[in-house]
Homo-oligomer: A and B are copies of this chain.
Amino acid sequence: MPAPTAEQEQAIRDAVVRGFDDQVRFLQELVATPSRRTDEADAQRLMARAFEDAGLTVDWLYGRGAGDMKGGLVANLFAYKALRAAGLLPEGRVHLQSVPEEECTGNGTLSVMQHGYTADAVVISEPMGEALVRAHLGVIWFDVDITGTAAHAQEMSRGFNALDAAFALIVRLRELEQHWNEITVGDEHFGDQEHPINLNVGVLEAGEWPSSVFDRCHFSVRVVVPPSLGSQRAWEQIEQCVEEAREQDPVVSRGHATVSRSGFFSDRYVLQPGSEAEGLLRELFSDVAGRELEAFATPAYIDSRVYGNYQDVPSLVFGPVAESLHGKDERVNLESVKRCTEIYALYMARWCGVREG
């Protein structure tokens, strides 16, 4: 395949810059489109229309999802559009994927894989601060349900407040979290991080009336799988933790705490250094950003485990600078989005080769 000429690459870079106002407008529209779990259809339709149109479009852009992960998703699209706007077609096949459930199961990408799509290299535009992810960890979601005994508050001690059992069990789960951090000390990729294993109680709901002791408490947890355990062994330890708490702690026992998986059940992925795919990204990053690409390990979940673990495709996770991910003040750096978009566009061109068209 013919490599792009220096002029062609300049044309691509110019096209990224020219298309950038459109890109920002479209990103605004996408950020304003709901994309919560089970309500992702509108965002997916918007992406589908824009993919179809793809003859398509400050310092920080704010909005929930602006960084994680609508900024990167739109960058993929506009990288391809820049290629086309430069009058070029990739010689190889380029897949753009817009998938649901990346934040809770990974099933969207698994489904694409099951439909037979594969590739020689994958670039995932997660907002990783323009650094490359060398390794990420597995994640498990689980729910805990507690049963109390409802009663009038005037005879509070006759009832059993399900919240008490939840508190007691959370203390036990925090002990497991601490143990998991201890066994991660010395790990090749995560051993030097202060607290790589986070156990996050993200939802807790109990009761409906101040004057009643409540008979029900529900909470949802996201926890990171230690690198020395697979998700299956980690899950067994969670179940064991709950079982031991029920045996040893009368309060947990009285609450009949039960635990169930409710989303993520994923293993870690390590990008082996030295691949051709990584080499090209390093080269382009150096060209465009004028410095060396850094790599790091993150306890986040990333869909690269699907391509990397199940298809053995080198999976590069590299994307723009963003802050306050999942926060209401989430924001993405637009200069960084522009720089990443250029890199993605050039990556397509150099990896696939190009022809005029």
A residues engaging B (CB < 8 A)?
68, 103-104, 139, 141, 149-157, 159, 161, 163, 167, 195, 198, 200-215, 217, 220-222, 224, 262-263, 298-301, 324-328
**Contact status A203-B208, CB under 8 Å:** yes
Q: A204 to chain B: which residues have CB within 8 Å?
A: 163, 204-207, 217
Q: A156 to chain B: which residues have CB within 8 Å?
A: 195, 198, 200
**Contact status B203-A207, CB under 8 Å:** yes
How far does the Cβ of A324 sit from chain B's closest Cβ, in whole Å? 7
In the complex, the chain B residue whose C-beta lies closest to that of A217 is: B204
Given A103-B211, A210-B141, are A200 and B167 neighbors across the interface (CB < 8 Å)? no
**Contact status A324-B151, CB under 8 Å:** yes
Q: A154 to chain B: which residues have CB within 8 Å?
A: 198, 224, 298-301, 325
Given A151-B325, A152-B325, A154-B198, are A262 and B210 neighbors across the interface (CB < 8 Å)? yes
CA distance A59 to B1 in the complex (A): 89
**Contact status A263-B153, CB under 8 Å:** no
Given A156-B200, A201-B161, A211-B103, are A326 and B206 neighbors across the interface (CB < 8 Å)? no
**Contact status A209-B213, CB under 8 Å:** no
Q: A221 to chain B: which residues have CB within 8 Å?
A: 210
CA distance A276 to B81 in the complex (A): 92
**Contact status B327-A149, CB under 8 Å:** yes
In the complex, the chain B residue whose C-beta lies closest to that of A197 is: B156
CA distance A103 to B153 in the complex (A): 11
The 5 closest A-B pairs by CB, nearest first: A153-B200, A202-B210, A150-B327, A156-B198, A210-B222
Among A153, A161, A209, A325, max chain B CB count under 10 A is at: A153
**Contact status A151-B326, CB under 8 Å:** yes
CA distance A214 to B195 in the complex (A): 19
CA distance A150 to B141 in the complex (A): 18
Within 8 Å by CB of A327, from B201, B215, B220, B301, lies B215
A/B interface sample: 6 pairs, CB < 8 A: A153-B326, A156-B198, A202-B207, A203-B210, A204-B217, A210-B220
In the complex, the chain B residue whose C-beta lies closest to that of A202 is: B210
Among A139, A156, A211, max chain B CB count under 10 A is at: A211
CA distance A154 to B210 in the complex (A): 34
How far does the Cβ of A210 sit from chain B's closest Cβ, in whole Å? 4
How far does the Cβ of A303 sit from chain B's closest Cβ, in whole Å? 14
